[in-house]
Amino acid sequence: MENLIKTLCEAWGPSGYEHHVRKLIEAEVAPYVDEIRVDGIGNLICRVGSGGTRVLFAAHMDEIGAMVTFIEPSSGMARIADIGGLIKGILPGTRVRFEDGDFGVVWANEARKPDRTIDDFYIDTLGKQVSIGTPVSFWRDVLFQNGYATAKAMDDRIGCVVMIEAIKRLNKQTENEVYFVFTVQEEVGLRGAGAAAFGVDPQVAVALDVTDTGDLPRNSRMAVKLGAGAAIKVHDPGLVVPKAVIDWMTNRAEADGIPYQLELLAGGTTDASRFQSSRSGVPSGCISIPCRFVHTTSETVSVADVEACVALVAGLAGPAVALGE
């Protein structure tokens, strides 16, 4: 699994430009699914099984990035706009990567001032000629140490890893009609999720995404921590998970001996918030991978938590699904 984490997290793919990531994922899952297609917005939709309950699992392929908006005539420096939720305080000195593999460095005059806006920043393209509308991702290679993995784009390539590994573990054996959807443009408004849910028309839906933790000094008071297992969402600002969905997940985890924790997130949401309001409504939940330093180039997860999430997804997807009240 480490090789897959490295391959996906180091891949280039800001929101709206997920095609390289989609190609890598398609090659991984093609032998293990019954049908594979790409919809009009760019979601990769993989079906396993037919008949039974239509279950949708989803993780998003995109990562936060930036786009060139203006070239300074005197210096050639490239001004930028956000693609997704950039944390401005970490931008000075951050390396960016262009689609062709070339690099640049983000800077701002008086970069240490705390109240910077995106208009203050620019990319030193190191002699590379770029044009307005050029997208970039941020760059760091993947590191593994003492059971932890650190990388850019864990949000949400690690969710994609969980789904790929679960697909392989199922090996086409399920009593349901399961759709594994790798969505686009989550970081800019959950756009792929809406199209995917409308197209699949699931009877129950589950997002796979990272979540914040409360295990750092002076961090928010949150029960989730690295190394304590899969985080089963109860609530976030965009989603109140139905009790029947929570019970379905926790009962499966307990039956299979999978370590889990409950997640109540004070800020942010996932594709599940879009799934729940699709068509006439879909019971929706989320399995979260605990992650420190979200929306930085050093997002960090516990490999043991990732394994727990894989086991939970595979355990949910295989047996016949019948939600209680």
Buried residues in 54-89 as b, exposed as e (16+ CB within 10 A): bbbbbbbbbbbbbbbeebeeeeebbbbebbbebeee
187 among known catalytic residues: no
Active-site residue (options: 177, 186, 263, 299): 186
Q: What is the 3-state secondary structure (H, E, C) of the chain?
A: CHHHHHHHHCCCCECCCCHHHHHHHHHHHHHHCCEEEECCCCCEEEEECCCCCEEEEEEECCECEEEEEEECCCCCCEEEEEECCCCHHHCCCCEEEECCCCEEEEEECCCCCCCCCHHHEEEECCCCCCCCCCEEEECCCCEEECCEEEECCHHHHHHHHHHHHHHHHHCCCCCCEEEEEEECCHHHCCHHHHHHHHHHCCCEEEEEEEECCCCCCCCCCCCCCCCCCEEEEEEECCEECCHHHHHHHHHHHHHHCCCEEEEECCCCCCCHHHHCCCCCCCCEEEEEEECECCCCCCEEEEHHHHHHHHHHHHHHHCCCCCCCC
Give dist(CA 322, CA 73) in Å, integer.
63
The set of catalytic residues is 186
